[in-house]
Structure 1
Amino acid sequence: MLRTVRVVAAAALTLSGLWLGAAQASAASLPSCTVAVPNLGVFFPGTSSGSTDCMLGVGNQSEAVNVLQSAMTYCNGENVAIDGVFGPATKNALIRLQSRLGVAADGVYGPQTRNAMHFMYFNGGGCR
C-alpha cells in the first residue's frame, strides 16, 4: 500500500512539473500583438488573425501598443504617452501596473496582464 502511494505521488509530481513547464514554454512562444481586436465591445491588443493571446514588449510599434497605452492611461491609472511605441516609459508604467494588479511585474504584456487589466469600450462608454 505504501509503495502504491509513493508511486502515485511521484507520478503526480512529475506530471505537474511537465504541465507547468509546458505552460511557461507556450507563453514564451506567443506571437507579437499587432492590431486592435474588438471583443465584447472592448478593444484588446491582438493579432491579425483575431487572437488576443499575444505579447508586447520593448521595441514593438503597432496599433496594439496604442491600445495598450490607451488602456493603461484611461482605465488603469498610468500616465503614459499614447504613441504606439513600446519604449522604456511604457515598460516602466507597465511594471508599476503589473505590480498593482498582482501579476508578474516583468514589463511584458501577455495573457496574464490582459486578464488583470481594464480596457476601453470602443463606443467611448468607459472601461471594463
Structure 2
Amino acid sequence: MLSQKKIGHQRGLTTKKLLSSVLAVLALSMGLATMGTAPATASTPQCTSQSQIPMFSDVAGRNYKVWMPVYSGQINCWLALRSNSSAVKALQSSLRACNGQNIAIDGSYGPATQQAVRNVQTRWNSTHSTKILVDGIYGSQTRHAMMWYGYNPLLGYLCQYEQDKGGL
C-alpha cells in the first residue's frame, strides 16, 4: 500500500504542493479567496456621476427629486473606499443632511465616508428585521436603507427614503 507522500510524488507533486492545492480549493469553495477588489458583482458598475431622481409626486403632481449616485443614469451602482466623483458628493450630501453624519462633502470616498456608511448600515440593522451587511460599501442595500436629500416645490427641502418605501 502506498503512503500519501508516495502518491503525491507519483503524480509529480510534492506534499507541500498537494497541500497548497487542497487548501486553495477549500478557500475558494468557502468564499475566503476573492478575485479583484470590486465590492459588487461584475455586472454592477461603479457609480460615476450624480443625477436628480424622482421619488414621488405630491397631490399637485409635482415631483420630489433627490440627487443620487448613478452610472449612466442608473441608480444600481456601487461606491467604496478610494472612489472619487460627483457620485460620492451626492452620497455625502445625503449622509450629512439626512442621516446625521458629520462628514465633508468633497467627492472623495475616504475613511470618514466609509465610516458614515457603516453607521447608516448599523442603524438600519438596529431598527429593522431585514438586516444588511455592515461593510462601509455603498450599494443597493445601503441605498434603500438611507434617507436622501431632495427638493419638492410645495414642500421644500426634505429627506426621504428611496421611492417613499421606508427603505428595504
Please give the TM-score of this superposition, normalised by the length of structure 1: 0.74
- The match for 2:67 among 27, 43, 50 is 43
Identity of matched residues, %:
43
For normalisation by structure 2, the TM-score amounts to 0.57
More helix by share: 1
Runs of 4+ in 1 over 2 A off after TM superposition: none
Paired letter, 1:95: R
Q: Which of 1 and 2 has greater Rg?
A: 2
Output the CA distance in 2 between the equivalents of 1:28 and 1:76.
27
Asked if 1:112 is matched to 2:141, the reply is yes
1:28 CA drift (Å): 2.1
Amino acid at match of 2:158: G
Contact 2:120-2:145 within 8 A present in 1 as well: no
Q: Which letter does structure 2 place at the counterpart of 1:71?
A: S
**Alignment equivalent of 2:106, drawn from 83, 92, 109:** 83
Q: 1:122–1:84: structure 2 CA closer, same or farther, 3 Å change rule?
A: farther
After superposition, the C-alpha distances for 1:22-69 in whole angstroms (9 at most, x for unaligned) are xxxxx422111111121111111111x210000000010000000101
Q: Give 5+ residue unaligned stretches, structure 1.
A: 1-26
For the residues of structure 2 that align with 1:33 and 1:87, how far apart are their CA atoms? 15
Once residues 112 and 82 of structure 2 are traced to their aligned partners in structure 1, the CA distance between those partners, rounded to angstroms, is: 12
Q: CA RMSD in A?
A: 1.3
Separation in 2, partners of 1:106, 1:74? 22
The count of aligned residue pairs is 101
Q: Secondary structure at the match of 2:89?
A: helix
